Amino acid sequence: MTASEPDRPVLFSLAALLALCGLADSIYLTVTHLTGEDVACVASSGCSEVLSSAYSSVGPIPLGAFGALAYFVAFSLATLAAFGYRRARAFLPVVVTAMFITTLWLLYVQAFVLHAFCDFCLLSASLTLSLSIIVAIDFFTRSRHYPASGKMSGP
């Protein structure tokens, strides 16, 4: 690691913390979906419409469960990357990109199909956007600091 390269463990630790928050959000949404409890939104009034729509599950599985799985994988990969595992660092952008694309689709559904927003869904979207920014920072600063030959020094 060069002196001018950003401190990667801190960057990936922040990503792990954000993913952990997303995991908590997704678990909450999954539990409320499975138990049939109402979710109370604070900033918007569309939680019930969004979370009870046909778009809130894939078959019997609530979308929150898929989100929990994605956030758990992102948390695991970010934690491993913080400890210097290159494979985790290489796979994290793939997972976060899939999460970002899914988030864009779900935001589209909320805005243009359901015409309603869910606070917890918007929290998840902001966490995914933040993870995407962290992955982009790592990618673009790593590309600039390593030679074009593809050989990487360090972990």
| Whole-number pLDDT of residue 147 | 47
Assigned domain for 2 exists: no
Assigned domain for 1 exists: no
Assigned domain for 153 exists: no
Assigned domain for 72 exists: yes
Assigned domain for 3 exists: no
How many domains, in total, are found in the chain?
A: 1
Assigned domain for 154 exists: no
Mean pLDDT value of segment 51-80: 96
Assigned domain for 151 exists: no
Assigned domain for 69 exists: yes
The CATH number given to whatever domain includes residue 31 is 1.20.1440.130
Closest by CA position to 47, among listed 61, 64, 59:
64
Q: Are 29 and 39 in contact (CB under 8 A)?
A: yes
| Whole-number pLDDT of residue 142 | 78
Lowest mean pLDDT among 87-91, 97-101, 141-145: 141-145
Domain of residue 17 covers 8-145
Query: pTM to 2 decimals?
Result: 0.87
Give the model confidence (pLDDT) of 110-145 as tens digits. Answer: 999 999 999 999 999 999 999 999 999 999 987 555
Length of the chain as a residue count = 155
